[in-house]
Each structure stands twice: as C-alpha cells, then as structure tokens.
Amino acid sequence: MPDDVMNKSLVTNGLNTRFIGQNVLYYPITTSTNDIARQQAHAKAPEGTAVIAEKQTSGRGRLKREWVTPQGNIAVSVVLYPARKDLHFLTMAAALAVQYGIQKTTGLKCQLKWPNDVLINGKKVCGILLESQASAESAEYAIVGIGINVNMKLADYPEISAIATSLADETGKEISRVFLLQNLFVEMEKLYLRLKAGESILAEWREHLVTLGRSIHVRSGDEVFEGIAEAVAGDGSLMLRCTDGRLIKFTAGDVTLR
C-alpha cells in the first residue's frame, strides 16, 4: 500500500476493534489533534474516536514543547471515557500499545523511557501526551495523543537527529502508516479493556522501562536531581535515589539517561 495514501476508509476498513479507531476524523492539516479530540470529547463523541492528521501546525508534547509532525509521520489522538482509577495507567497503556504495534508492524524492538517516551536503539521514536478533565471522584474524559516518527528522514532535521529516530531510518524502508495505525488501535483496545476489567498493567510496563537501574538526571520545574532510578510506585511515579541518599518520588519530570 503506497504510504502517501491515507484516509478514513483505509484506516477503518478491516480494522479488528470494537470501538477504538472505528470512528475516524481525518485532516490533511490541523493545529493539534489533541485540540480537535478535546472538542469531540466535549461533544460526547463515541469512545475510541480517533483524530488523525497528516500534518500539525501546533503539535505539542509534554511540558508545552513543540512536536514536529511533517508529512509521513503519525499524529493521532484517541478519545476515551475511563474510570477515574484508570487515569494513571493510560499513558502506560499507550506506550505499551505503541511498542507492540511497532513490533508487530516492523519487527523492531522498542524500549520505554519514563514517563512516556518510546525509544529504538536509545533514540526517541514516539511521544505521548495524555490530557484529561477529571475531579477527585470521577473522570469526564481523557485524550491520548500519540506522535510516531514513521517515514521522516532525520537527516533533514539535524536539530533533533542526535536524539530522535524514525521507523524508516531504522528499517531502511518506507512503512505503511495505515497498517501501523491499525495495529496500534488493536493493541490499545486490548490494554484499555484489561484496565476496565480491573487488571493491572503496571508490572508489564515496568518490565519494558529502560530507565530503571540507570543513573539519570530528573528535571522538575527549575530543579535538577541526580541519582539512580530505583523503582516506580503503584501509580507509575518514579522513585529516585539521589546521590545524597534521599529517595524522592516524581509524578512528572524530564528524564535524561546517563
């Protein structure tokens, strides 16, 4: 299948899911798929609605960083209506779904870096941005935004080529984004249904974390902490054993592997 062809019917045709990816909104260009997905959530769109864009003009990652989405990549946001207790685990589920989807599509082995990066050979191939509206008691909706470097050539982006990679660069060939999206949706739905059934995916996610046991820097706000990534807590928070012996828990932060 030529990779320059992408539309709603190609994605949904033959897709073996109950709800994730069955309702697709496709845009050749938009500001941010997460923004469109949020509008859909407020309008009570069906759970699993997927917003796909060929190109984003205002794509963003964690900590309000810009996320580059040139032609040939995947930018998708999925609308979910999870239980409040499952919010902590949606980023884990998304990361595992990306890992399994990439492996099924390309055979490439991925690693996960806390909190939400997917790596291949130590370089970032995917970023995940979870945005939600919730109270202490309930969750109204969650948006799982996923950006995967598929067919971009990192040589064209020297500013990020030292830290990022793409599936095409790793395999030496063009990858079908439609096939990858379908595999991603199948794996995401499996993991999400496991969460809804009360099953924990924490151990499975932890098993694939390349962060644990490594010497790292964690940037939290204006502070930088150095130490060993000792463990992850039950909610996915990172436990850092600092060089001065303190054990600090991080629910968010920017990690650099040393």
Token pair listed for 85: 């207790």
User: How far, in Å, are 34, 129, 154 from residue 180 at the CA level?
Assistant: 19, 19, 19
Predicted pLDDT at 91: 95
**In this predicted structure, what is the pLDDT of residue 65?**
56
Which pLDDT does position 59 carry in this prediction? 56
pLDDT value for 31: 87
Query: What does pLDDT average to in each consecutive run of 10 residues of the chain (258 residues)?
Result: 72 97 95 94 98 80 57 94 95 98 98 95 94 91 96 92 96 96 98 97 96 94 94 95 95 89
Report the pLDDT value the prediction gives residue 63, as an integer from 0 to 100.
Answer: 43
Per-position b or e across 105-133, b if 16+ CB within 10 A of its CB = bbebebbbbbbbbbbbeebbbbbbbbbbe
CA distance 152 to 155: 9
Q: What is the DSSP letter of 251?
A: S
- Please give the structure tokens belonging to residue 25: 């909104």
pLDDT (0 to 100) of residue 56? 83
What's the pLDDT at 55?
A: 87
Residue ranges covered by each domain of the chain: 8-206, 211-257
Q: In the CATH scheme, what is the homologous superfamily, with its name and number, of domain 8-206? A: Bira Bifunctional Protein; Domain 2 (3.30.930.10)
Please name the CATH architecture into which domain 211-257 falls: Roll (2.30)
